[in-house]
């Protein structure tokens, strides 16, 4: 993916997955690449159409939740490009969990009954529903791993005021409830997800992407209860299968570990899983689109010319 130089460009940031251009200090042009990361490490090979999948699911979900919380997105001029308002981000991720899965389960299985200040009751099995969703925030690290943090620590460290924390929590739980409704209509369970928020003046704004396979985990609803009763693994749509493959190949992003080689077949499998999630979540057929850099730039400039 090429790098661009737009008129009135005031900053450029290359993230693990996205390239972000700041325009006039007020707008962001966000290009979702086909790069894939896990354990905070960029894996060696891109995944075809991943950027398009993430961009289009996020746009769909932001539109479907705009009545709950204002968001940053203004236009999607190209398959993997989002343009929106630049906000001052809260340096925390609002992780909402409806089920005891992933990091929460690993913490629970180690004997702990609290995660980021949220209580986890005794007697639960992996993937069981919590009585009601819990919020387990993490700090948003510029580099390296995000760290678990409690609401009390967030307020103490000045990452958000108590009033802001209460508003963020309320937004996150309402967004999660809407996400679960949308997923349920498609025969899916939204298991856990993360939200990022920022401020524009005094307003709290929902940023980045939501309810995508990079930020969320979905289970298939059909057969969920039977699999739980039998202690079987749940059938899921998320990036977790990539993490599981890495763990099986002795990689968890720790010092001295080497990222395993990715075969053509494995790259194709990951791409198909992303497309499958798009079609399941959105409920329509995925239409692959690849624009050349010249056409992508032209479409971006058309939008920027109107701002």
Element (H, E) at 179: helix 162-185
Q: What is the pLDDT of residue 96?
A: 98
The answer as to whether 122 is a domain residue is yes
* Angle CA 38–266–105, to nearest 5: 40
pTM of this structure: 0.91
Percent of the chain predicted with pLDDT > 90: 87
Q: How many CA atoms lie within 13 A of 4 on its CB side?
A: 24
The answer as to whether 197 is a domain residue is yes
Residue 94, domain extent: 89-238
Q: What is the pLDDT of residue 277?
A: 85
Q: How many CA atoms lie within 13 A of 203 on its CB side?
A: 11
The answer as to whether 120 is a domain residue is yes
The answer as to whether 213 is a domain residue is yes
The answer as to whether 184 is a domain residue is yes
Q: pLDDT tier at 238 (50, 70, 90 boundaries)?
A: confident
Domain count, the chain: 1
Q: Measured between alpha carbons, how far is 71 from 305 in angstroms, rounded to an integer?
A: 21
Q: List, for residues 78-91, the tens digit of each pLDDT value.
A: 999 999 999 999 99
What's the whole-number mean pLDDT along residues 250-261? 91
Q: Which residues, other chains included, contact 263 with Cβ-Cβ below 8 Å and sequence gap of 6+?
A: none
Whether 184 and 198 have beta carbons less than 8 Å apart is answered as no
What's the whole-number mean pLDDT along residues 282-297? 94
Count Cβ atoms below 10 Å from residue 76 Cβ, excluding itself: 21
Q: What is the pLDDT of residue 12?
A: 96
Q: Measured between alpha carbons, how far is 36 from 120 in angstroms, rounded to an integer?
A: 31
Q: Measured between alpha carbons, how far is 293 from 133 in angstroms, rounded to an integer?
A: 42
Q: Measured between alpha carbons, how far is 97 from 192 in angstroms, rounded to an integer?
A: 4
Q: What is the pLDDT of residue 145?
A: 65
Element (H, E) at 266: helix 264-282
Element (H, E) at 247: helix 240-248
The answer as to whether 110 is a domain residue is yes
In this predicted structure, the answer to whether residue 1 has a pLDDT above a threshold of 80 is no
Q: What is the pLDDT of residue 239?
A: 80
The answer as to whether 16 is a domain residue is no
The answer as to whether 221 is a domain residue is yes
Q: What is the pLDDT of residue 142?
A: 61
What's the whole-number mean pLDDT along residues 108-131? 97
What's the whole-number mean pLDDT along residues 122-146? 89
In this predicted structure, the answer to whether residue 141 has a pLDDT above a threshold of 70 is no
Q: What is the pLDDT of residue 155?
A: 97
Q: List, for residues 121-130, the tens digit of each pLDDT value.
A: 999 999 999 9
What's the whole-number mean pLDDT along residues 44-50? 95
Q: Smallest Cα–Cα separation from 32: which of 53, 11, 12, 13? A: 53
- 120: domain CATH number is 3.30.470.20
């Amino acid at each position: 993916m090429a790098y661009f130089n737009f008129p009135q460009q005031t900053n450029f940031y290359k993230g693990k997955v996205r390239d972000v251009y700041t325009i006039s200090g007020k707008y962001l042009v966000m290009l979702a690449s086909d790069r894939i990361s896990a354990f905070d490490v960029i894996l060696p090979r891109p995944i075809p159409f991943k950027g398009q999948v993430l961009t289009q699911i996020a746009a769909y979900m932001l539109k479907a939740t705009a009545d709950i919380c204002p968001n940053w997105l203004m236009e999607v001029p190209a398959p993997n490009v989002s343009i929106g308002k630049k906000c001052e981000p809260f340096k925390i991720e609002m992780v909402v969990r409806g089920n005891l899965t992933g990091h929460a389960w690993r913490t629970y299985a180690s004997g702990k009954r609290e995660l980021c200040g949220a209580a986890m009751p005794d007697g639960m099995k992996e993937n069981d529903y919590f009585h009601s969703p819990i919020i387990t925030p993490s700090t948003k690290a510029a580099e390296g791993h995000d760290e678990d943090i409690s609401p009390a620590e967030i307020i103490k460290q000045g990452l958000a005021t108590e009033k802001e924390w209460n508003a963020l929590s309320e937004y996150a739980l309402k967004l999660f409830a809407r996400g679960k409704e949308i997923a349920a209509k498609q025969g899916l369970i939204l298991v856990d997800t993360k939200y990022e928020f920022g401020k524009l003046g005094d307003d709290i704004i929902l940023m980045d992407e939501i309810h995508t396979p990079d930020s969320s985990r979905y289970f298939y609803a059909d057969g969920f209860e039977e699999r739980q009763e039998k202690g079987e693994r749940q059938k899921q749509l998320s990036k977790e299968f990539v993490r599981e493959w890495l763990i099986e190949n002795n990689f968890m992003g720790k010092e001295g570990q080497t990222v395993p080689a990715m075969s053509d077949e494995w790259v194709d499998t990951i791409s198909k899983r992303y497309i499958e999630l798009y079609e399941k979540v959105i409920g329509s057929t995925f239409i692959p689109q690849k624009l050349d850099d010249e056409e992508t730039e032209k479409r971006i400039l058309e939008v920027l010319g109107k701002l």
